[in-house]
């Protein structure tokens, strides 16, 4: 009997132990499965943190310029309307800085009927060369009025000389820049395709245009005055592919030895800007540019001699300048006056100039800063053209503009 009782107790204990082992093994499996899920969740969290870290390195900014314009009688005739509403610019800029010393910029213009890539470039700090950077891609040419953002400029548009010699403002190329800290010097050297107007993806000839700019800054702290002064030089060319005839700036006609020759274009500029902390703040900004511009003929190579002579390649001696006076009025208002002059052909004047006439333009503007994001501008543009037999009167081409800019 005792023996049977011992066997029973042993059997029950064995079954209980086996049952307990099953429960423990089952719990172990559940814990391991949950640990696997937790590890997978950790991996996803790490991935999300990595993605968020990348997003934090992306800066998004931009602006929209909506405006209403009314035109003088001659512009009304050529346009077919006396006034209009439209979107002048609608830009969004993406700046990505994955690490210190490297930056990527992408900026399209999304204004109505004008989907255009404005900026697409990379900036890299050059190792072991402090304050030196290398830029590559599509960017502004190294010129003050060109580089000064359209969202910050005191008048609505750039001067006539700037928009003529730097069409489209941007270029595709590479730029070396030094921005000194101990020595307040800005140096820029850019090699570019040349002839870029915003639509072509590649160069149209083998040569590259080169532009250099040097600016030195002086601060007179006791007087509350800062002065930037500098110089720039542009050297490039246009390829005469189809027409060997060249019309010089003085109206004479020359002939190249053959087609596929390069026509020089080069000019030199001098610039100065004075900032004074007086009467609420004011500034005077000016630039003078003079040199030779060229234009390649667009007639077909199979054209007759008469057709080639009628539309030859062009050499033009030109000069131009602008002067800004900017005056702050209180914390929210700003008054601006700009005078700019452009003569596309300094060798000819009067009737001999034909349609290569000079322009003297006054621009008056008032700006009201509602806050950091909204700016309202009233702008009155008053160009005055040279009078000759081809242009017997001063054209009625004044433009009055009301612009609202929203910036973020």
Q: For tokens 């052909």, name the residue.
A: 345
Burial of residue 2 (CB within 10 Å: 0-12, 13-18, 19+) is exposed
pLDDT of residue 12: 44
CA distance 141 to 121: 13
Q: Is the pLDDT reported for residue 52 higher than 60?
A: yes
pLDDT of residue 27: 55
Burial of residue 299 (CB within 10 Å: 0-12, 13-18, 19+) is middle
- Identify which has the larger pLDDT, 3 or 159: 159
Q: What distances in angstroms separate CA 391 from CA 321, 381, 397, one per listed residue?
A: 22, 20, 13
Phi then psi for 82, rounded to 5 degrees?
-95, -20
What sign has the CA pseudo-torsion 30, 35, 38, 44?
negative
Confidence band (pLDDT; 50, 70, 90) for 42? low
- Of 196-205, 243-252, 299-308, 309-318, the one with minimum mean pLDDT is 196-205
Q: Is the pLDDT reported for residue 8 higher than 80?
A: no
- Identify which has the larger pLDDT, 205 or 69: 69
CA distance 368 to 223: 28
CATH of domain 60-89+179-407: 2.40.160
Is residue 103 a contact partner of residue 133, using CB atoms and an 8 Å limit?
A: no
Burial of residue 388 (CB within 10 Å: 0-12, 13-18, 19+) is middle
139: closest CA among 109, 108, 169, 162?
169
pLDDT of residue 18: 47
pTM here? 0.85
Mean pLDDT of all residues in 366-380: 97
pLDDT tens sequence across 273-310: 999 998 889 999 999 999 999 999 999 988 898 999 99
pLDDT of residue 201: 76
CA distance 174 to 165: 19
Contacts within 8 Å (CB) and 24+ apart, 199-205? 199/116, 201/172, 204/239, 205/237, 205/238, 205/239, 205/262
- Of 38-42, 60-64, 194-198, 212-216, the one with minimum mean pLDDT is 38-42
Q: What distances in angstroms separate CA 22 from CA 9, 15, 28, 229, one per listed residue?
A: 20, 11, 10, 87
CA distance 71 to 381: 10
Confidence band (pLDDT; 50, 70, 90) for 15? very low
CA distance 202 to 179: 29
């Amino acid at each position: 009997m005792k023996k049977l009782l011992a066997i029973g107790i042993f059997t029950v204990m064995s079954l209980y132990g086996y049952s307990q082992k099953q429960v423990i093994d089952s719990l172990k499996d559940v814990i391991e499965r949950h640990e696997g899920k937790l590890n997978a969740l950790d991996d996803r969290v790490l991935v999300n943190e990595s993605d968020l870290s990348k997003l934090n390195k992306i800066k998004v900014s931009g602006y929209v310029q909506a405006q209403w314009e009314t035109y003088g009688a001659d512009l009304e005739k050529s346009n077919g309307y006396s006034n209009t509403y439209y979107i002048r610019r609608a830009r969004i800029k993406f700046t990505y800085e994955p690490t210190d010393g490297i930056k990527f910029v992408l900026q399209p213009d999304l204004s109505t009927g004008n989907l255009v890539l404005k900026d697409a470039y990379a900036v890299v700090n050059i190792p072991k060369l402090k304050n030196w950077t290398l830029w590559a891609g599509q960017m502004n040419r190294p010129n003050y009025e060109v580089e000064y953002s359209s969202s910050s400029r005191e008048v609505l548009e750039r001067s006539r000389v700037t928009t003529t010699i730097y069409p489209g403002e941007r270029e595709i190329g590479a730029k070396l820049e030094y921005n000194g800290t101990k020595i307040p010097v800005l140096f820029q050297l850019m090699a570019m395709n040349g002839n870029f107007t915003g639509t072509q993806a590649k160069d149209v000839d083998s040569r590259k245009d080169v532009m250099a700019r040097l600016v030195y800054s002086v601060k007179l702290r006791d007087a509350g005055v800062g002065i930037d002064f500098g110089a720039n030089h542009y050297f490039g060319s246009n390829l005469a592919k189809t027409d060997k005839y060249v019309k010089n700036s003085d109206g004479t006609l020359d002939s190249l030895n053959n087609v596929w020759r390069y026509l020089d274009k080069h000019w030199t500029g001098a610039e100065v800007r004075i900032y004074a902390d007086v009467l609420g703040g004011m500034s005077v900004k000016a630039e003078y540019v003079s040199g030779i511009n060229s234009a390649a003929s667009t007639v077909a190579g199979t054209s007759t001699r008469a057709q080639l002579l009628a539309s030859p390649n062009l050499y033009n001696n030109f000069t131009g300048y602008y002067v800004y006076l900017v005056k702050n009025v209180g914390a929210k208002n700003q008054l601006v006056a700009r005078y700019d002059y452009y003569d596309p052909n300094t060798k000819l004047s009067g009737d001999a100039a034909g349609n290569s006439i000079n322009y003297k333009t006054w621009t008056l503007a008032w700006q009201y800063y509602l806050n950091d994001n909204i700016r309202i501008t009233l702008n009155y543009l008053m160009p005055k053209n040279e009078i000759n037999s081809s242009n017997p009167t001063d054209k009625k081409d004044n433009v009055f503009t009301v612009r609202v800019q929203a910036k973020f």
